[in-house]
Amino acid sequence: MSTLDSLPGPRTPGIVNTLEFAFAPRFFTQRHRKKYGRVFRSPAIQGDAIFTTDPEHIRRIFAADSDTFRVLAATSLRALFGRQSVLLTSGPTHKRQRKLLAPPLQGGRLRKFAATMQQLADRQVATLRPGQEFRALDLTTAFTLDVIVQTVFGVTAEHEAHELRELLKTLIHHVPPSALFAPPLQQAWYPPWARYLKARDHFNRWLNAKIAARRKSPEPGDDVLSLLLDARFDDGTQMDDEEVHAQLITLLLAGHETTAIALASCMSRLARHPEVLEALSRELDAALPGDDVQRLPYLSAVIDETLRIDPIVSDVARIPNADFVLDKDLTVTPDQLLIVLIEGVHLDPALYPDPLQFRPERFLERKYAAHEFMPFGGGVRRCIGAAFSDMETKIMLTTLVRRAVLRLVSQRPERRVRRNITMGPQHGVPMRVEHLR
């Protein structure tokens, strides 16, 4: 049985490795994989870590039961999402939460949100004017924020929606990445964290009042907040206010920005690859009125290929609760970190020939397994809002392609930088409206 010490890897201090991985995950992954192979070890702030891009390792990790691992970020993200967030729980608690949370975000309930998403996409695209320069990420952020306001919080009156949008924008803006990777900085004496706490307190007061009002209302609602308040666990109990609060914050912070970044990245990729944009336009033009865009194969392939090259989240990190056999030669112990490098898998030339080439056709030529393509994580902890995000992305991207001809302001590649728990384009993808259809 191999041990951590027997694996190759850098011997630089943990803080150096952690900072490099946090703020330059692609550089970290490619550099160490080239030097040490698919599996290597590295000291980190949180302790010794095993990094893997081996598909067989990842298959075993994703196949494990929810009580096999605990979440590495549970401590550092608890102050952000709340201790009862489905992102941070494990075991039976995690299972029962997912069972309650899944219905509003999938299937028939989700399809009912499509009309609202389309109306909001139409509204955002209608703000564009020929010759206008704008940042794609600003446009997509405004769209996904509007979707959250209406479908998750159920706010449709414009004066209340404006108030909530401002609260949410302030809250998101003040999340400090530094404190997420260094939990000791989550103190009121640290100015960025103090600003976040102030924004969080303002939003908490609004949300607590909204939850109280909804609980008293005799009228059923069809937004996610109302559905969560009405939902029952198998034993007949409901989520208490703290847990509802945690799940809503999770949907906001983990779902809103990820979808906005995915959309902006798709817009950038299409603008850089006119042949792909032309092929997508042909597919959309051939679609009949009323056709479900969710089923258009090339549209799905464009989004998947974007998320392959530009994953929003760089890794999946876990800590085993007991010795976990990664393979016949390596067992991970409970005092070690286990990190799946999403970037490393998605850029593996053995899986994806010419991995940096943007070629959506590869997703039409073969179907990739969950341990080979994982933009939303995988296994029992796969992002519960993946279908919600996919629907948003397809509706907004389809609306943009059909109604606007956009160009990049600059063809220079844009660095991806750490935003909080996500990676996104540094300058937000500056674009120009050539003309509207």
Token pair in block for residue 230: 């009405």
- In tens digits, the chain (437 residues) has pLDDT values of 455 667 899 988 988 988 898 889 999 999 999 999 999 999 888 788 999 999 999 999 999 988 898 877 666 788 888 888 888 888 888 889 998 888 888 888 888 899 999 999 999 999 999 999 999 999 999 999 999 999 999 999 999 999 999 999 898 888 888 887 778 888 999 999 999 999 999 999 999 999 999 988 888 788 999 989 998 888 888 889 889 888 888 888 878 889 999 999 999 999 999 999 999 999 999 987 666 888 899 999 999 999 999 999 999 989 999 999 998 889 999 888 999 999 999 999 999 999 999 999 999 999 999 999 999 999 888 888 999 999 999 999 999 999 999 999 998 889 999 887 889 999 999 999 999 98
Query: Rounded to two decimals, what is the model's pTM?
Result: 0.93
Q: Are 214 and 229 in contact (CB under 8 A)?
A: yes
Euclidean distance between CA atoms 264 and 424, whole angstroms: 9
- 65 by Cβ neighbours in 10 Å (0-12 / 13-18 / 19+) ranks as exposed
Q: What is the largest CA-CA distance in the chain?
A: 64
Taking CA atoms, 174 is separated from 91, 193, 245, in Å, by 32, 8, 19
Q: What is the pLDDT of residues 356-370, one digit of tens each?
A: 999 999 999 999 999
Q: Are 342 and 308 in contact (CB under 8 A)?
A: no
For residue 343, which of 376, 313, 303 has the smallest C-alpha distance?
313
